[in-house]
């Protein structure tokens, strides 16, 4: 439950803080102006990192004991954020920016005691301090800047870091590394809360404050994982967990040095830039990078106890394959074939076009999703055997917020806060259905049939919605990938064997809610009273019964 609340609070706080930060970004002069190196063409706020740090730190402060490594880590994050936002506002000289990173790293190393003691090929003896401390400082500075440099497309830095943090959390879970899991899950929650605004086309950027926060956090966590929490892991696993950002940074800096330029000079030679040059669009480029990073972090899991030489050898083969691919593709002039538009000539094609234009199937899918989700939420809330007090207290708080917004915004589309509350209510219901089903256990088969039918309705929504509605984004693929794969990893003995099934049900409910909220009929008023009633039932049962 602690991890659950850490995640929910981080997501909620991040999503709530972003809108006011966006509105104040022009006044604070924290905006990203397009130039020759950048992909976007409009002025966009780049203050999302502040919301991410706030969302991640709140659950850490609430649940972690103030040990030296925790205090040092939090203070380091605040230093990173201060210099990062300062840079976003005033475009600092790289030396001053680097000074802030050094201060943060020194705090976490010298005060927090985060030090690399075991390295590949060194054996079981720890490194002497005069070697380990400088090596740790160099490594943390390197990964902080690697994530910062890789932040070039909407959702890119957040998504790749999310995958790395997910694997860190899994490996920490296997040895009961609770502190590390709390931090990793909190940062993951802040990333997901931010990505809802940052998926292409982004309405806000995380800025240097956000990207350096992610790089610093994942660097510290992977050091603590391999050196303290789970030292049985091969230390080379860290390279796989952070694989793609490291390769991207080495490729870019190597090319700059080869061309006689400063390794810190700006250009458009990152992996995502190369993919765009080859003809991949924004979605495709981000999705491909997510896919490759997923392969690397899964490789880290399956190779976690293997020899250092095997892990590093496989990683080097991967690096060579990427470099050779880009070099040969560029020399051969290879380009992704453009999709062909035009009229649908086949009978099936014309049929799909007619269904899309008439919206008939979409209307059926909408009505089914709206009615069935409403019934599911209310029935589960009423008939589960019990509701824990902590869920009831949180339900009272969310209900209060939702009622205020209900009277203020009746008849208007859901805003981001209302969406977040709807998602949290769905998580509550699925969790209780799994943990305390009561009489509902006799109707489990019908519940599974409902989720299958809802998944079909969502598929219809994806296929027949208008182009600007209900679009699948790389972030959605990322969430589904994590939800489906992580519970199935061999050796991950979850306390509840049905957790994987529950996560999949939560994902289906999330996308079902999105289908209801983004369809052309604009039936806003149905979901609002249903969510209010669901929270009221949960809160009442937890506190009064």
Beta bridge partners of 44: 32
Note whether 128 and 210 are same-domain residues: yes
| pLDDT over 70 at 425, yes or no | yes
Q: What's the rounded mean pLDDT across residues 107-124?
A: 91
Neighbours of 16 (CB within 10 A): 17
Task: For 492-513, write each residue's pLDDT tens digit.
Answer: 555 544 555 677 788 788 888 8
Please state which of the ranges 22-36, 263-277, 285-299 shows the lowest mean pLDDT. Answer: 22-36
- Same domain for 276 and 353? no
Contacts of 383 (CB under 8 A, 6+ apart): 438, 439, 440
**What does the pLDDT look like over 369-407, one tens digit per residue?**
888 999 999 999 999 999 988 889 889 999 998 888 877
252 in a structural domain: yes
How many whole angstroms separate alpha carbon 229 and alpha carbon 206? 30
Other CB atoms within 10 A of residue 407 CB: 7
Does the pLDDT at position 521 exceed 50?
no
How many residues in total does the chain contain? 545
Nearest to 154 by CA among 200, 206, 197: 200
Cα radius of gyration rounded to whole Å, the chain: 24
Residue 486 and residue 166 in contact, taking contact as beta carbons nearer than 8 Å? yes
388 and 271 together in one domain: no
Domain count, the chain: 2
Residue 483's pLDDT is 58
What is the distance between the alpha carbons of residues 503 and 486, in angstroms, rounded to a whole number? 10
444, two tokens: 């489990």
Cβ-proximal residues to 394 (8 Å cutoff; 6+ apart), any chain: 5, 424
Q: Both 271 and 379 in a single domain?
A: no
Give residue 497's pLDDT. Answer: 46
* 338 in a structural domain: no
Q: In this predicted model, what pLDDT tens digit does every residue of 42-100 receive, in sequence order?
A: 678 888 899 999 999 999 999 999 899 999 999 999 999 999 999 888 888 878 889 99
Q: Is residue 76 part of a domain?
A: yes
* d(C-alpha 464, C-alpha 364), whole Å: 11
Displacement of CA 429 from its chain's centroid (Å): 23
Q: Residue 468 pLDDT more than 50?
A: no
Q: Domain of residue 384: give its range.
A: 347-544
What's the pLDDT at 341?
Answer: 46
SS3 per-residue string spanning 355-393: HHHHCHHHHHHHHHHHHHHHHHHHHHHHHCCCCCHHHHH
Q: Give helix 308-332 / helix 243-258 axis angle, nearest 10°.
A: 50
DSSP letter for each residue of 141-157: HHHHHHHHHT--STTHH
Tokens of 253: 């800096």
Q: What is the pLDDT of residue 343?
A: 46
- Same domain flag for 211 and 85: yes
Which of these three, 297, 332, 367, is where a domain ends?
A: 332
């Amino acid at each position: 439950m602690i991890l659950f609340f850490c995640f929910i609070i981080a997501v909620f706080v991040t999503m709530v803080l972003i809108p006011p930060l966006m509105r104040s970004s022009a006044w604070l002069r924290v905006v990203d102006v397009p130039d020759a190196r950048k992909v976007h063409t409009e002025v966009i706020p780049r203050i999302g990192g502040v919301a991410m740090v706030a969302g991640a730190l709140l659950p850490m402060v609430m649940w972690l004991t103030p040990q030296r490594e925790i205090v040092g880590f939090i203070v380091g994050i605040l230093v990173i954020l201060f210099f990062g936002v300062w840079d976003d506002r005033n475009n600092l000289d790289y030396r001053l920016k680097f000074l802030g990173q050094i201060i943060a790293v020194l705090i976490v190393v010298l005060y927090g005691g985060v030090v690399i003691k075991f390295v590949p090929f060194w054996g079981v003896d720890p490194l002497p301090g005069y070697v380990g401390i400088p090596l740790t400082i160099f490594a943390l500075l390197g990964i902080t800047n690697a994530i910062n440099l890789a932040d070039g497309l909407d959702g890119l830095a957040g998504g790749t870091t999310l995958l790395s943090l997910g694997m860190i959390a899994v490996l920490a879970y296997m040895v009961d590394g609770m502190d590390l899991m709390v931090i990793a899950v909190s940062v993951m929650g802040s990333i997901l809360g931010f990505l809802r605004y940052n998926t292409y086309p982004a309405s806000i950027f995380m800025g240097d404050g956000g990207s350096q926060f992610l790089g610093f956090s994942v660097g510290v966590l992977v050091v603590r994982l391999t050196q303290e929490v789970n030292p049985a892991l091969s230390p080379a696993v860290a390279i796989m967990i952070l694989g793609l950002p490291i390769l991207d940074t080495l490729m870019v800096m190597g090319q700059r040095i080869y061309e006689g330029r400063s390794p810190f000079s700006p250009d458009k030679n990152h992996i995502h830039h190369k993919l765009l040059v080859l003809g991949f669009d924004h979605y495709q480029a981000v999705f491909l990078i997510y896919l490759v990073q997923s392969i690397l972090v899964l490789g880290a899991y399956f190779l976690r106890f293997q020899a250092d030489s095997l892990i590093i050898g496989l990683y080097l083969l991967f690096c060579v394959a990427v470099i050779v691919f880009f070099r040969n593709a560029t020399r051969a002039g290879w380009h992704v074939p453009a999709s062909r538009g035009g009229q649908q000539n086949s009978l099936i094609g014309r049929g799909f076009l007619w269904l899309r234009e008439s919206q008939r199937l979409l209307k059926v899918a909408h009505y089914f999703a709206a009615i069935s989700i409403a019934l599911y939420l209310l029935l589960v809330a009423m008939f589960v055997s019990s509701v824990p007090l902590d869920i009831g207290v949180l339900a009272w708080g969310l209900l209060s917020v939702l009622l205020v917004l209900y009277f203020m915004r009746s008849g208007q589309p859901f805003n981001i806060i209302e969406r977040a509350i709807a998602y949290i209510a769905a998580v509550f219901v699925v969790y209780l259905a799994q943990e305390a089903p009561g009489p509902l256990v006799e109707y489990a088969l019908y519940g599974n049939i409902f989720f299958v039918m809802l998944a079909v309705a969502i598929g219809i929504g994806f296929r027949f919605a208008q182009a600007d509605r209900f679009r699948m984004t790389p972030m959605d693929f990322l969430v589904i990938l994590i939800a489906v794969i992580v519970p199935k990893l061999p050796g991950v003995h979850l306390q509840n064997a049905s957790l994987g099934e529950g996560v999949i049900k939560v994902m289906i409910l999330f996308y079902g809610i999105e289908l209801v909220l983004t369809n052309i009929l604009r039936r806003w008023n149905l979901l609002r009273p249903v969510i209010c009633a669901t929270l009221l039932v949960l809160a009442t049962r937890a506190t009064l019964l």
